[in-house]
Amino acid sequence: MPAQGYHPSLNNSAGARAMFHLRERNYRYFVALPIFVSFIWFSSLLAMLLTWIISGRPRYVSQEGSIAYISDVGASFLKPLFVVACCITGVGFLLSLVLERLLRHRGRLAPGMRKREHVLGTLAIIGAFIAMWGLILLSGFDTGRYPSLHRVFLLVFMVGVALSAIFTVLEFRWIAHDYADVKKLRRAYIAKAVIAGTLVLLGIVFGITLFYVPNVGAVIEWTIAFGFTFYLLTFYYDLRMAKYRPTRESKEMMVEIPRGDGSSDGAEGSQA
């Protein structure tokens, strides 16, 4: 049974040689992914909202209340912007989880040492895959011409994000038990849990107000959409932990195991 905070590949030269050596410039590209996706998503939403306000708050054909939904604005002449933003955001969201899984598998991030963590990580990616297609399809099947399909794909997107967030938080929660630097992972999964939990609760309220109080539903939808930006940014924090190579010093900190007498035992024999 591997000791707490221990990664098997760090204690043998073959594993160290096979480890994915991430160069500094590549690291910057990976970390930039969630930032880029968050910027595209947020700026596109802001552009759509400001366009509606500056245009005098017009009432769109598909609009029910006095406040336009994102889908109402997205079904107008701004549909190309909405489709591109949804495609980039959906694909970027999925790639962020896949990249995190790759770096975790290669030892650049805290590894999941049990089958349980691997299963949860895979389920999180499947949830992101479902969310990606839900987001892409809801932008294509706009609420003006395909109102029923649009709502179905909106539900698919929201369920996909919720499932992905739940499995990701559970995976981080269990990995934290076996990780030497537990504080970093604790901050990560608590942030994800708080943001995702808030968005899920708002999503439930949105589903109710959508049919009974359209104006309130519209405000909640814009709030959820902008709030999703913060969830995307949590992956920046995750990926930035892969910045440093597992040198001898960093390995010793990763695999440091407390002894019964209060002292610690590092992996001083491992080499990069």
Q: Tens digits of per-residue pLDDT, 49-59?
A: 999 999 999 98
List the alpha helices (DSSP H) in 75-181.
Answer: 79-105, 115-140, 147-175
- The verdict on residue 202 lying in a domain is yes
Q: Is 245 exposed, middle or buried (0-12, 13-18, 19+ CB in 10 A)?
A: middle
The HSE-up count of residue 97 (CA atoms within 13 Å, CB side) is 30
Residue span of the structural domain in which 90 resides: 29-244
Q: How far apart are CA 62 and CA 151, in angstroms?
A: 13
Q: Is the residue at 257 inside a domain? A: no
- Say what the pTM is: 0.77
**Domain total in the chain:** 1
Q: What is the pLDDT of residue 3?
A: 39
Q: Are 195 and 241 in contact (CB under 8 A)?
A: no
Q: Look at the block and give the residue holding tokens 């949830």.
A: 127
| pLDDT single digits (tens) 127-150 | 999 999 999 999 999 888 898 999
Any domain includes 176 = yes
Domain assignment present for residue 269? The answer is no
Q: How confident is the model at residue 115 (pLDDT cuts 50, 70, 90)?
A: confident
Burial 121-154 (b: 16+ CB within 10 A, else e): bebbbbbbbbbbebbbbbbebbbbebeeebbebb
